[in-house]
A and B are shown apart, each in its own frame.
Chain A
């Protein structure tokens, strides 16, 4: 019995980010002690809603990063999909068609990312940077630099509606997280991400179609960014090119803080969810305690660096495998 328990404890500690769970618990207890309004359902809801777009996008980004890539283009895909759907609505298009077309265009941009990474044999960082700049430009062209409104009334359900008492975006996030998490752990096709991220050449030798997987994962990631864009547009009932500036870096930070490695091969959905809860809580500290928000960015920066340092320290201690910093330079990708 005792050895069983030890086995499960070890397994749990080995697969999750124990330092992050501890930090989340500390912040949670601290906030409920210092802020009388924190432990209410409505406050927790607001905290979650303020980070839900990042959360949804982080799910796809996790698989991209596990497979050794990175996708900056989601940062301008979010405002682009919001602007696209608004443009379609202003063209008197029906809601299902407008949403379907928007998501289809998002997927196409993702496919384009995957295609260019495959064909140009270039680093995903720089290819998706180019797409990010280009898509950002298309947002400006479509919106003429301003904000678009004029959404049909029913559209607000996506961002403001509720399902079994939970706000729809948060519900969607958990459904996506569950499905993607299970698929990534159990399904052969998704699990390829780990092989590709560890060694693309070895994966190829094992008969994995790396190019096809890339096309799939970048379009999947773009689809999630499109969904996040729709939710954002629906929440504010407006769309502008300045929505979510720098969101791509927050999304990547969420995945990395969860414990994924930018050199690929490591990471999981449950870790990313932990990262999201942690950063959403850190984000809320300032509002909850009434501190000046200017400090928010400073703390955010410290927090992501220290979270990664601590995760690494604990991992090296547990596994005994020392990692050279050279393995972490971009060259090794």
Chain B
């Protein structure tokens, strides 16, 4: 028992899990008809899939001591290009188009990483520039319109269900679980913690810090790409205005999940639970029937409490 209390005191993931369970429990008790019903849970899950993927990628970059503001624009550009490939640019094979879309999103991340490590620039300004460029290119390519006329097989990924659970939720949980395992156990990805905490020492012991950071930005780009594919497949359109403000939302979720701007902190499941917490709060607003306008204020309070909790555990 005392051990459980210690874990709860020190582990952000445990705190978040407990908090999420409490909120879900309360919602289930007070709204037994509308909260635990499959339709609501499905909407809750599908609504958080895209944010969760992007927040996980963002967390990895934060662990490195970096930051990626271009994730939302990356989602928009990947969505536009993938759908354009299928609708107008003559690619008939859906897997091929998806692979090319993911390749594009990884390339955007690679360009970020290459400029940051190659030209020695702050990730904030580089990814800010990329945020404008990617969003702009998405608008130029789509002329601001929805991209429709997609093959039916493209929409399977985002709309199919397995035993009533949407496929994209299962896939997202799978991707996050595998990535979490790799980050904890595979030395190549685990180095991020060392690099984020002590970049100079990491260099001294022979870690190629530049390459770790380069790979980190590719991973962040790739997660945006996966979110983009799921999102366009689910809605059956490509759109250049997708995911506006997603970068800051993902950042907030990552920080609620235990990541920090000093680097070296945060975890994959923490980010996921952070997104889940914000999604539950937002769903709670719908259940209680409160004006959605209050939601942002509550999100801000959640974020401040998370920052406060982090400062508390450091002392």
Which residues of A approach B to under 8 Å, CB–CB? 70, 72, 116, 119-123, 125-127, 129-138, 140-141, 144-145, 249, 252-253, 256, 261-263, 292, 294-302, 304-305, 308-309, 312, 323-326, 328-331, 333
Contacts and interface: CB of A to CB of B under 8 A. Distances in A.
A305 B262 contact: no
Contacts of A330: 65-67, 122-124, 261-263
Contacts of B295: 137
Given A309-B121, A328-B121, A134 B261 contact: no
Nearest to B111: A305
Interface in B287-302: 291, 293-301
Per DSSP, chain B at the interface is helix
B279 to A, nearest CB: 15
B307 A126 contact: yes
A253 to B, nearest CB: 6
A289 to B, nearest CB: 16
B121 A123 contact: no
B137 A305 contact: no
Contact of B124 (A130, A138, A144, A262): A262
A122 B66 contact: no
A130 B304 contact: yes
Given A120-B308, A129-B251, 14 more contacts: A129-B248, A130-B252, A133-B296, A134-B296, A134-B297, A137-B294, A141-B297, A252-B128, A256-B125, A301-B130, A309-B119, A329-B122, A330-B124, A330-B263
Contacts of A72: 248
B304 A305 contact: no
B121 A127 contact: no
B144 interface: yes
7 contacts: A116-B304, A126-B251, A133-B248, A133-B303, A136-B296, A141-B297, A305-B121
A137 B296 CA distance: 5
Contact of B136 (A263, A300, A331): A300
B149 interface: no
A316 B94 CA distance: 49
A331 B262 contact: yes
A132 B261 CA distance: 17
A134 B131 contact: no
A137 B125 CA distance: 27
A331 B296 contact: no
B133 A298 contact: yes
Nearest to B311: A120
B264 to A, nearest CB: 8
Which 5 interchain pairs have the tightest Cβ spacing?
Answer: A137-B296, A134-B300, A297-B136, A301-B132, A301-B133
A329 B199 contact: yes
| Size band of the interface chain B makes with A | 35 or more
Contacts of B300: 130-131, 133-135, 137
A323 B120 contact: yes
Contacts of B200: 326
B116 A253 contact: no
Contacts of B248: 72, 129, 132-133
A315 B18 CA distance: 52
B261 A121 contact: no
Contacts of B291: 141
A262 B140 contact: no
B135 A126 contact: no
Contacts of A123: 260-262
Contacts of B299: 133-134, 137
A325 B116 contact: yes
A321 B248 CA distance: 34
Contacts of A299: 136
Given A129-B252, A129-B303, A329 B66 contact: yes
B136 A122 contact: no
Given A129-B252, A130-B303, A326 B199 contact: yes
A232 to B, nearest CB: 20
A301 B131 contact: yes
Contacts of A136: 296
B147 interface: no
B234 interface: no
B126 interface: yes
Contacts of B199: 326, 329, 331
A301 B132 CA distance: 5
A121 B260 contact: no
Contacts of B209: 326
B210 to A, nearest CB: 8
A324 B310 CA distance: 30
A125 B65 CA distance: 13
A305 B260 contact: no
B259 to A, nearest CB: 9
B270 interface: no
User: In the complex, which of the residues B126, B129, B199, B200 has the most CB atoms of chain A within 10 Å of its own CB atom?
Assistant: B129
Contacts of B131: 249, 301
A134 B307 CA distance: 14
B297 A312 contact: no
Contacts of B121: 305, 308-309, 312, 325, 328
B198 to A, nearest CB: 9
Contacts of B124: 70, 252, 262, 330
A304 B143 contact: no
Nearest to A121: B311
Nearest to A142: B293
B196 interface: yes
A325 B126 CA distance: 12
Nearest to B309: A120
A131 B299 CA distance: 10
A224 to B, nearest CB: 21
B148 interface: no
Contact of A141 (B139, B203, B293): B293
B311 A122 contact: yes
Contacts of A292: 140
